[in-house]
A and B are shown apart, each in its own frame.
Chain A
Amino acid sequence: MAKRVLLGAAAVLLVIAAAYASFFVAPEERTMGALQRIFYFHVSCAWAGLTAFSIGFLANLVYVWKRKEKYDWLGVSCAEVGVAFTTVVLISGPIWAKPAWGIYWTWDARLTSTFILWLLYISYLLLRTLIEEPDRRALLSALFGIFAFIDVPIVFGAIRWWRTQHPAPVIMGGPNSGLAPGMRGTFFFAVFAMHILMWFLIAERYSLEKMRNDVELLRQEAEAT
């Protein structure tokens, strides 16, 4: 418990520091001006969301292999946290797009694949509410989680494989891509802060799932006596 409180405090302090750095440390971008500062929040949330889905994918694989419930708890925790981060991405993106592109939304490869990713993981969470039996729920949702993860590399590759509306990648994007040194430091600090927040939220959600299991065991004990 004390560790989670410390992690939560660290996450809050780091995201506040990252927001400060985004506004007051990073240099202003020439084309978009101050509007580009959304980048540090939007992209770091996207990276943290994809990391959460990746950890969830590994947990789903290990669950199918070992059938230990702790991997099921980790899988659902990562899916829910990943959905929260992707929701932020899908809201901050259009808010940035309107003044930058003149439109809130377009069915471009990156935007569409991200929206499909969000729908897939919402379906994963809905699927879990439809199955009562715990082992069956864990197995079917792990299999669905493995299937849903197929979209993660598509989201990553969408701006590399197809040139549509969304800007080309500035990180891992090839020889002509990159960020100015002042921007790079702020960006990686924001990514680090968002990953600590992601870790904290997964830890909180995991503990909730563990508690839910304890309640289920107590209920079964009560019914048996």
Chain B
Amino acid sequence: MKNLDSIFWAYILGWAIFFGFYLSIAKRSNDLRAEVDRLKKSAPGNSREK
């Protein structure tokens, strides 16, 4: 198959971008989830702080 390297790189780089983008969303979601937990714990009236 001619030009196999071009086909390989087009697909690999494309999927790497999608995968990286999905990972960035997942990482930002995890950070926000941790922040929600932190804010809920530090809220006045939280049983753990009493």
Mark A residues whose CB is within 8 Å of B.
19, 33-35, 37-38, 41-42, 45, 80-81, 84, 87-88, 91-92, 95-96, 98-99, 197, 201, 204-205, 207-208, 211-212, 214-215, 218-219, 221-222, 225
Question: Could you tell me the distance in whole angstroms from the C-beta of A132 to the nearest C-beta in chain B?
Answer: 17
A contact residues around B28 at 8 Å (CB): 208
Question: Could you tell me the distance in whole angstroms from the C-beta of B28 to the nearest C-beta in chain A?
Answer: 6
Interface size range on B against A: 20 to 34
- Closest residue to A211 on the B side, CB-wise? B32
B17–A87 touching, CB < 8 Å:
yes
Q: What are the 9 tightest A-B residue pairs by CB atom distance, in nearest-first order?
A: A92-B10, A218-B39, A35-B3, A95-B10, A88-B14, A84-B21, A34-B1, A211-B32, A38-B10
B6–A38 touching, CB < 8 Å:
yes
A38–B7 touching, CB < 8 Å:
yes
Q: Binding site of B, secondary structure by majority: helix, strand, loop or mixed?
A: helix
B14–A35 touching, CB < 8 Å:
no
A contact residues around B29 at 8 Å (CB): 204, 207-208, 211
Question: Could you tell me the distance in whole angstroms from the C-beta of B36 to the nearest C-beta in chain A?
Answer: 6
A contact residues around B42 at 8 Å (CB): 222
Q: What would be 26 A-B contacts, judged by CB atoms less than 8 Å apart?
A: A33-B1, A35-B2, A35-B3, A35-B7, A37-B7, A41-B11, A84-B17, A84-B18, A88-B14, A88-B17, A92-B13, A95-B6, A98-B6, A99-B3, A201-B25, A208-B28, A211-B29, A211-B36, A215-B32, A215-B35, A218-B36, A218-B43, A219-B39, A221-B43, A222-B39, A225-B44
CA distance A192 to B7 in the complex (A): 21
Question: What total of A-B pairs shows CB separation below 8 Å?
Answer: 87
CA distance A99 to B3 in the complex (A): 7
Given contacts A34-B1, A91-B13, contact A99 B22 (CB under 8 A): no
A contact residues around B14 at 8 Å (CB): 41, 45, 88, 91-92
